[in-house]
Amino acid sequence: MPLPYYVSPEQIMKDKAEYARKGIARGRSIIAVEYRDGILLVAENPSTLLHKTSEIYDRIAFAGVGKFNEFENLRIAGVRHADLRGYAYSRGDVTAKALANAYSQALGSIFTQDINPFEVEVLVVEVPDRNGGKNEIYHILYDGTIEDEVHYAAMGGQAEEIRQVLTENFQEGMTLAQALQLGVRALTVTQNKALNPSDLEVAVLDQTRERRKFRRIGAEELKQLLER
Amino acid sequence: MHESWRSGFANYLTTSFVDLLRAESPHLLPTFVTEGEAEVPPIAIPHGTTILALKCRDGVVMAGDRQATEGFQIAHRRIEKVYKADETSAIAIAGAAGPSIDMVRLFQTELEHYEKVEGENLSLEGKANKLAQMIRMNLPAAMQGLVVIPIFAGYDDKTGQGRIFMYDVTGGRYEDLDHYATGSGGKDARNSLKRLYRKDLDRQEAVRVALEALTDAAEEDVGTAGPDFVKGIFPSVKVITRTEFEEVPEDEVRRISEAIFAQRREEAAS
């Protein structure tokens, strides 16, 4: 009987991480940027039907990059988590932090226990209620690593370069149009062509709205905002 | 942790929140079944009284008085019986107040859950059917006296007009073409709706008709409260059209109620 090859645990983890990172790097990027009235999500996504950003709960939104079926799975899990919690307790008790932790646990255990890790990264963002407080941006990686980011976040293919642009140009209190233009500029930095509005998926958590803060920005409004 | 996450999270069979709740946390389902013989609960529980809906030119108007009655006592004076279900529909409840409010909360969550998971809204017909299933779920409790009878109404994008659905305790779903009222003062409200309703009422007129009907119900039915000018309690009225879900502001309801009372005083004096 031939002996099974010995592979060290470090090597296994390294291989898995490499596998996940490659998968994610192939995908297009998403950014989240704070603006005056909330948080803006901009994704490069030519499809108008298959979304990368989504509403989770009143003040919480989700964005995912990588393999669609995997982050879609996570998105629905998030909606379920939030709705169950909000029904069992109250709407105010649903928090991005709890959800981000659940994602982190789930991705972490999949990464260590399954042969193939999920090739995804997700963002969970939350705007505060009217009583004040700060925006929250959680970035969860394929292995369950969780980071809370301040003011902006980027993930996907060329996240490093994009983050660089955001770091250099981010200002507090930007209008929606300014934030959007910065976001689009950041997404274009890794490409040699300009992005068409039809290639973008844009959504906001808008604090000025009533209960449900999430809103998608349609093609017409997007065009106007980009021209401003 | 991992296995339970997968079973709850990776299952695509349903977009229904009720099904999810049944699978994940059945203890949270609003059921009141007790073992043994069906019997009327020995304790008095608050009951919501009169609710109504009528169509108007651009959509539908829904209204309800604000009183909950517990036997011969008033349990609450400011209870809310007409709730926003989502952007284009509303649900009004009559019957045992506790289970009714639970049902509304579950129904609201169900609609929002579907919308978020699927990325689009259920049709008005789909919502009405979903509510019928929930009432059927409540049947064992209804047999024990905890009856919940809602009216569901909203604007239907597919037909381009308002629609009104009414239910019986078994979850039977019926559609009414023009107007409907139920609850302890429902019969009286229905009578005055029949008298005052015409096709193509505009928003203003329809709100007035709704308030007239509630005032009539309050005159005839001990469980129903009319507008209370002393305490400043007025019926809640919602108007749903294609573009808007409007809660009619309290001072407008007050103004119309005053006009109705002034007219009745005049008629009584002459």
Query: Does the beta carbon of B106 lie under 8 angstroms from any beta carbon of chain A?
Result: yes
Domains of chain A by start residue, with CATH: 28-227 (3.60.20.10)
Instruction: Give the residue from A178, A223, A214, A222 showing the smallest Cα distance to A59.
Output: A214
**A-proximal residues of B, 167-186, CB under 8 Å:** none
Q: What is the pLDDT of residues A201-222, one digit of tens each?
A: 999 999 999 899 999 999 999 9
> Which residues of A fall within a CB distance of 8 Å from B117?
76, 79
Quote the CATH superfamily of domain B44-269. Aminohydrolase, N-terminal nucleophile (Ntn) domain (3.60.20.10)
Using CB atoms, which residue from B5, B12, B109 is nearest to A83? B109
| A114-127 residue pLDDT tens | 888 999 999 999 99
Residue of B1, B20, B119 with shortest CB distance to A80: B20
* Closest residue of chain A to B7, computed from CA coordinates: A77
Q: Does B4 touch chain A (CB under 8 A)?
A: no
Distance CA A212, CA B252 (A): 27
Phi then psi dihedrals of residue B96, to 5 deg? -55, 120
Q: With an 8 Å Cβ cutoff, is B56 touching chain A?
A: no
Residue pair B116/A56 in contact (Cβ under 8 Å)? The answer is yes
Q: Where are the domains of chain B?
A: 44-269
* Residue B3 pLDDT class (50, 70, 90 cuts): low
Q: Is the dihedral of CA B33, B38, B43, B47 positive or negative?
A: positive
**CA-nearest residue of chain A to B108?**
A87
| Residue range A164-204, pLDDT digits in tens | 999 999 999 999 999 999 999 999 987 777 788 888 999 99
ipTM given for this complex = 0.91
pLDDT digits (tens, 9 = 90+) for A23-61: 888 888 999 999 999 999 999 998 888 999 999 999 999
Q: Could you tell me if A105 lies within 8 Å of chain B, comparing CB atoms?
A: yes
Q: Chain A: nearest CA to B113, how far in angstroms?
A: 7
Average pLDDT for residues B60-82, to the nearest whole number?
Answer: 93
Helix (H) or strand (E) holding A20: helix A9-26
A186-to-A101, A190, B81, B191 alpha-carbon distances in Å:
28, 8, 50, 65
pLDDT at residue A189, rounded to an integer: 85
